[in-house]
Structure formats: structure tokens, C-alpha cells
Structure 1
Amino acid sequence: MKKEINIVHYWGGVPIIATSKWLSTLRLVQKCAENNWNNWLVLSKQPDDLSLVTPFIEIGCKVIYQPRSKGNFDLKSITRNYKLMRLTKCDILHCYNDHTSPLIAAMLARTPVKVWSKLSMSSYYEKGVKPQGLKKLMPSTRLTCLLANRILAISDAARKEICNQVGFDNKIHIIDVPVQLERFTCSEKVDEIRESFHIHKSDFLITAVGHFIEVKGWDIAVPAFAKVCKSIPNARLLLVGKKTSDSFYQKIVEQINFFNLKDKIIFAGNRSDIPEILKVSDLFILPSRSEGTPAALIEAMASGLPCIATNAGGMPEVITNGDNGYLFEKENIEELADKIKSIALSPELEAQFIINAKKGLQRFSIERYVDTTFNHYEDLLAHRK
């Protein structure tokens, strides 16, 4: 008789909208359920929109709410998760945003298969600094890698970062970021969206999707946009995402006031219609200081937008500079402004980027992500000790 498999998907956060990342988790749970595996999904709290968890419950997945770990080594989190591993008779623990304490718990509970998805670059990379003192040992990352049977890195840049910091190259496999390509490829143009933001048809609309936090680089986008407006007075900048950091939000507001851009920059907040917003945009920019591999960039490319991103993290693995988009050096306001103007003033270049950007996007499909991840599960189960 085939052994029953119990898997805990330890998200360690809470969804706000149905992003590609969230949908890929749902599809992965569905794949496990189709193979008669028992699923548990761990979130840090109940989402405001309960329809986000309903599809999980409908396929028999049990949703558990518990606080994220406080710090990298949280005794309460270890205790909670030890009990969870024992209660579920867990065969596979797959950690995403919160990992060290849950993995310690899984080790103590003798969970056979432990997987960690490395979804972003470290804070040291984002800030461009090297750890000092005992932090050079990277105790949390080192222990996570030691305890995990397999590490699924979202980009080659994320893989190299782990290797440079703590080693464990033999455990690391790259799985491209999953994107709901069909949602963005097939979305329809909704002209009313421009009207709702008071953007005219003749305006050149530049869109950035992220949130108000320093790593997203919107404080680079605003002064670059100010330079663009001198050459392209009908340019508009739409910032889509939540106000995560009040202090960074205030910094952006102060920049807008300084450059007198209040009538040209729009805050859209959180939106569920991002595919439609991208469809009515003219250019997508991603000025992030760091990204593993950004789903937002791939979504924009799938939507048929020319794109500009920072030459950092996993972004050069998506954009080949001058072929399917532009890369600019991190923090370089002048270069970002020049490349925005190059696209805005050259319809031929814009068309070239759009055509080339759509080539090879299938490697980012949710289906490929789910199948590859599930194959890793099966391989680890077959070789478990």
C-alpha cells in the first residue's frame, strides 16, 4: 500500500491580492492534492480577503494561522512548529518567507524532507554592504542551508549569493519565478482605467509596480522622471503598490513637491487589475536596488510593454540590455532618465523590445514551476533517509 504523504507549505506571510506568487502556491497545492497528498498551508494571519484562501480549503487543504518568527531564532516559533510537524506527521516541509525557526522545528521533529525557497536577495546585497563581526558567519542562512535537503533559488544571482556567503552549492537548484502569463498576455485594454486616473490618451504613461519601500527604488524613479518631463512634457508616472513604509512614502511625497510633479505622478495604491493597468501603459520601469527575479517585470513583458530595469540581482537574467529591454546601473538617475527618453522618442526601438521580450517567456509559466517543484518533492522522497 502506497504511503500517505503529508506536506506543509510554510508561507510565513499573508496574501493581499491574488498575485502570480499566490496562484502558483495554489496550483502547487492542487498538484499535491491530485496525487492524494494531504496539504497544510501556514499563513501569518487571516487575509482581509477570505476569497484568497477559499480555493485552498475547497481542495481539502487545511489553512493554519500562526505568527511569523520573531527574529531568526525564535524559541516560541520552534516550539509551535515542532508541535505542528508532529501533529501533521509531516513528510515534507516547504518554507518560503520564514525559514530558520521552522526548519529547526522540522529537524527536531525528524521531518524527512525539508525544502527552502530563496525568493529574494539578502538585505546585505540590497544595501550594498558586507556583514561585519559575527554576522560574517551568516548564522541564520548557514543553519537554514544546513538543515534544508534542497534549496530552490529564484535566480542564478540568488544561488551565487548563497554560495558566496555560506557554500552549499550541491543543494541549490534554480527554479524560475512563476508568472500567470496568460492573464497578462490575454488581458484586454480598458480605456476607462486611464480616465479614472485623469490620464489623457495622448499622455506617455510610465508605470512602476511594487510598494513604498526603499529597496524598490521609487526615490530613484522620481528624480529621473523629473528629467524626462523636461523633454517629454506629456509624460505621467503611475506608482502601483501599498504604502509599506510611512517614512519612505513621505520621502517620495517630498521629492514630488520639490520637483513640482504633483500633477504628473499618480499613486494607485494596491490594485487587483494590474494586467489591465499594464495594458494601457506605454512603458514599465523597475528601479529596484535588489530583486531575486521580479515577477512584476515578467508580467510587464508578457503584457507587451517595453521595460527598463536595474542591472542588479536576477534582473539581467530576464533582460538582455538593448535586445529585449534596457538595463541601467543601480542608483544612476541620469541613465534611467536617458533610457526612458530613448524609448519614448523611438517607436522603432519600442517595437523591437516588445517583440523580443515575448520570446522565451514560457520558462516563467506557473505550470513549469509547479511540475519542477513537484519533481523535486518526489526525488527527495525517493532518497529520504
Structure 2
Amino acid sequence: LLELRKLNSVSPVIKVLRQIREIYRLIRLLARLDVDVIQTWMYQSDLIGGVVGTLLRKKIVWGIYSSNLEREYYKRSTYWAIRLCGSLSRYLPHRIVACTRAGSLAHIDIGYPKDRITHIPIAVDTNSFKKCASKRFSIRQSCGVGEHTKVVGMVARWDPQKDHKTMVEGFSLVCDERLDVELWLAGGYGMDDSNRELLELIESSGVTSRIRLFGAIEDIVSFYSGIDIFALLSNGEGMPNVLLEAVSCELPCVASSVGDIPNVVGEYCQLLKHNNDLKLSQALIKLIELDKGEAVNLTRLGRKYVIDNYSIESVSKRYTDLY
């Protein structure tokens, strides 16, 4: 399937022929492995896996995630894949796994059969996602940031579903109140200095010197360990992994009240019902000034909650039961 992603620079006819070739190779591979269940994840893979599984007469399990399916937030090809999956969802998959309840409802609205959808949440490797004092020291030292500085961090790709504009503008209001703050932005797909639109947004904030771009980073636990508050501003979500990872790393959090976020981590997170720079700045300042003992108690309870409900062990058992 990875070969299907390498076809952007060739003609449409050659691209289609190569895709057919790769699908044929996939059919031969799965036939040779003699699998019992084909599990796919997200729309293009659901379509391919659904067709291949039907040809091989295998059990098919689709995976769905998003809760915001509006046209404006997707590339044209992805949007039409979503709609086609909605039409075929009564015929191809035997079961459909939704990792969020909000996502289940959104997909039912476009034709997915309710009786085939099973809710299994995403999992977090809680043994890996935990705060680390040595990693905190290392990343802060490399950035020249002392312990007195309060660092707000956001991990999200550059995408219409993510609201970096409100994040940057809200942070600039925090800077009007405090001198001891920084904003760290990380993520793939345009979260570096090659993104002119992002750079213009940061420059217009007036606090360029207090914002750092990390781009895609391999050691995300170092990033979580280095910051003091995690923020996630979004126009739409299912249940973002990064938010559960941040709670697992015992970080105070603020996030948009979208998708399954209120139901899943609302008790351990400051929620913004509407993305608004003033409301965001107020929430961030509240967390910055939170009593240390109260903050420790809240974040420890949050980590325990993630371990009890979203650890790999607890979620994998639910997949085993499904299969």
C-alpha cells in the first residue's frame, strides 16, 4: 500500500495502472498469508480492503475516526472516498470500528449502518507516554529555556481542521499579561519555517520571539516533558491521540470542545466551547497560575484515568473480543 503514495508525479493513466498492479499484489499477498480477518483504517484503505476482502471472501473490519465530515475540511478525493464508503458500508464490511462516539453518529448520518458499528477507543502506550525529568532538562537546555519560563505546547499538523490561528492569537494575549511564557508548535505537514502562511500568522502576532517551531519530531515524549501546558485548538476532531498522550504525561490541558473530547477528557481538561482568542488566553493564564498542589493532584488523576481506560492492554482486549 505504501507504493500507492508514490504516484503523485506521474500521469493519471500510469497512476491508475500502477494502483491496479499494487492492489493485485496485495490480493496475492493476503491469499498467501491466508488471513481470517482484514482490518482497515480510514477511507481509502477501507475501500481497498473492502474490495480485496470481498474478492477473497474474508471477514472485513473497517475503521473510522472523524466526527467532522464537512466538505470544506477535506481534499476532494478524500471527501468522495468518505461518501463512497457511506454508500458501500452496508455491503462490504462485517463490522465497523469507531474510536469515538461522536464519529459513530457522524457516519450514521451519511449512511453507515448503526448495527454494524462497534465503539473501541484509541489506545495510548502509557508506559512510554509519561513525563521524564531528564528529557525535560535536555530539551529545555537545547532551547535555552530555564525552569522559570512557562511553556505552552501544541502538537497538530497544518490543516483546516486545526485552529492554529486562534492558538497564536490567544497566546499573544497571554504575552500581554506575562513575560515568562513561550509557545512551542510541533507537528508534520507544514509545521516548520517552509510554511509561509504559518510564518505570516506568527509574524502578525507581534510575539515572534516567543514562538518556536519544531516541525515533525521523533521523540514526542521529550516535547511533552519540556512543556508545562498542552493546548489543542481544533475545528473538528474524533478523539485526538495527542490529547490522551498529554494527559498520560501529566500535563494540564486546554482544548476545543469538539468531537469526543468533552466526553473523554473533559474532567481533566479546560474546554473551550467556542474557539476564541480571549477565552483561550484566560484558560491558559488560569492553568499557568494554578496552585502547584492542585495541579499535581489533577494531572495524576488524569494519568490514572488514561491508564485505566485507554492503555494498550485494555483496548487490545476489546479488539480480541471483536475478532
Shift of 1:200: 2.3
Contact 1:126–1:289 at 8 Å: present in 2 too?
Answer: no
Q: Distance in 2 between matches of 1:376 and 1:299?
A: 25
Q: Distance in 2 between matches of 1:141 and 1:68?
A: 27
Shift of 1:276: 2.5
Aligned residue number for residue 85 of structure 2? 140
Q: 1:100 aligns with which of 42, 47, 50?
A: 47
Q: Distance in 2 between matches of 1:189 and 1:359?
A: 22
Matched, 1:169 2:114: yes
Contact 1:225–1:237 at 8 Å: present in 2 too?
Answer: yes
Shift of 1:246: 8.5
**Distance 1:216-1:182 versus aligned 2 partners, 3 A rule:** same
Unaligned runs of 5+ in 2: none
Matched, 1:149 2:107: no
Matched, 1:337 2:295: no
Q: Distance in 2 between matches of 1:295 and 1:237?
A: 20
Matched, 1:178 2:123: yes
Question: What SS does the aligned partner of 1:182 have?
Answer: coil
Aligned residue number for residue 44 of structure 1? 2
Question: Given residue 307 of structure 1, which amino acid in structure 2 is its aligned partner?
Answer: C
Question: Given residue 103 of structure 1, which amino acid in structure 2 is its aligned partner?
Answer: G
Contact 2:39–2:49 at 8 Å: present in 1 too?
Answer: no
Question: Given residue 44 of structure 1, which amino acid in structure 2 is its aligned partner?
Answer: L
Shift of 1:185: 2.5
Q: 2:197 aligns with which of 251, 255, 262?
A: 251
Question: What SS does the aligned partner of 1:291 have?
Answer: coil
Contact 1:238–1:265 at 8 Å: present in 2 too?
Answer: yes
Question: Given residue 55 of structure 2, which amino acid in structure 1 is its aligned partner?
Answer: L
Question: Given residue 276 of structure 2, which amino acid in structure 1 is its aligned partner?
Answer: N
Contact 2:193–2:199 at 8 Å: present in 1 too?
Answer: no
Q: 2:33 aligns with which of 71, 74, 88?
A: 88
Q: Distance in 2 between matches of 1:80 and 1:263?
A: 51
Q: 2:219 aligns with which of 267, 273, 278?
A: 273
Contact 1:78–1:104 at 8 Å: present in 2 too?
Answer: no
Contact 2:60–2:92 at 8 Å: present in 1 too?
Answer: yes
Q: Distance in 2 between matches of 1:357 and 1:145?
A: 38
Contact 2:89–2:111 at 8 Å: present in 1 too?
Answer: no
Question: Given residue 354 of structure 1, which amino acid in structure 2 is its aligned partner?
Answer: T
Q: Distance in 2 between matches of 1:159 and 1:287?
A: 22
Aligned residue number for residue 33 of structure 1? none
| Bigger helix fraction | 2
Shift of 1:125: 7.6
Q: Distance in 2 between matches of 1:114 and 1:211?
A: 30
Question: What SS does the aligned partner of 2:275 have?
Answer: coil
Pairing of 1:267-346 with structure 2 (within 5 A)? 267-320=213-266, 323-346=267-290
Larger deviation: 214-223 or 137-146?
Answer: 137-146
Larger deviation: 342-351 or 165-174?
Answer: 342-351
Contact 1:155–1:176 at 8 Å: present in 2 too?
Answer: yes
Q: Distance in 2 between matches of 1:248 and 1:255?
A: 13
Question: Given residue 340 of structure 1, which amino acid in structure 2 is its aligned partner?
Answer: L
Q: Distance in 1 between matches of 2:106 and 2:317?
A: 25
**Distance 1:253-1:154 versus aligned 2 partners, 3 A rule:** same
Shift of 1:104: 1.5
Pairing of 1:120-135 with structure 2 (within 5 A)? 120-124=66-70, 127=73
Q: Distance in 1 between matches of 2:130 and 2:191?
A: 32
Shift of 1:313: 1.0
Pairing of 1:186-205 with structure 2 (within 5 A)? 187-190=132-135, 191-205=137-151
Q: Distance in 2 between matches of 1:163 and 1:120?
A: 12
Q: Distance in 2 between matches of 1:81 and 1:143?
A: 21
Question: Given residue 285 of structure 1, which amino acid in structure 2 is its aligned partner?
Answer: A
Question: What SS does the aligned partner of 1:266 have?
Answer: strand
Contact 1:99–1:144 at 8 Å: present in 2 too?
Answer: no
Q: 1:261 aligns with which of 192, 207, 225?
A: 207
- TM-score, normalization: structure 2? 0.84
Question: Given residue 176 of structure 1, which amino acid in structure 2 is its aligned partner?
Answer: P
**Distance 1:169-1:123 versus aligned 2 partners, 3 A rule:** closer
Shift of 1:335: 1.5
Q: Distance in 2 between matches of 1:219 and 1:293?
A: 21
Contact 2:257–2:272 at 8 Å: present in 1 too?
Answer: yes
Question: Given residue 289 of structure 2, which amino acid in structure 1 is its aligned partner?
Answer: L
Shift of 1:224: 0.8
Shift of 1:209: 1.2
Larger deviation: 295-304 or 245-254?
Answer: 245-254
Question: What SS does the aligned partner of 2:247 have?
Answer: helix
Aligned residue number for residue 299 of structure 2? 354
